[in-house]
Amino acid sequence: MKAILLIVSLASTLGFSETDPVKGNGADKKQEAVKNIPPQANAGEDLVISSKDILQLDGTASREPDGIISRYHWTQIGGSPVVIANPQAAITALNVASKGEYSFRLSVIDDKGGLSTDEVKIIVK
């Protein structure tokens, strides 16, 4: 009988730790959220182009080291207003009618809510 009590006592003393992968608990989920590595937005290199060229924004060089990029969003931050064909796409076209300097910001969000931004400047001659 003493042997059984000793085993039960030892088992209850050791218990499960908060980081036990089998039992788990809310603390593990909080630790996972902290470990998220944010994405790395890449709006591309600054460009100088002719007004006759087709102009597009390309964020496909953006990276997410520990998940997936779940959302792209382009916004214009400088220059005469232009129409961004699809601001939610990784690659989108611009309708630029006049010469000038234009700036755009790419925001990328990963599947865990991490956010990163990058900017690109385009000069139309």
In this prediction, residue 88 carries a pLDDT of 97
Which residues, other chains included, contact 75 with Cβ-Cβ below 8 Å and sequence gap of 6+? 84, 87, 104, 105, 107
- pLDDT by residue (tens digit) across 6-30? 334 444 444 444 454 454 555 555 5
Q: Does residue 37 carry a pLDDT above 80?
A: yes
pTM to 2 decimal places: 0.71
| SS3 of residue 25 by DSSP | coil
- pLDDT by residue (tens digit) across 66-97? 989 999 999 999 999 999 999 999 999 998 87
- pLDDT by residue (tens digit) across 55-65? 999 999 999 99
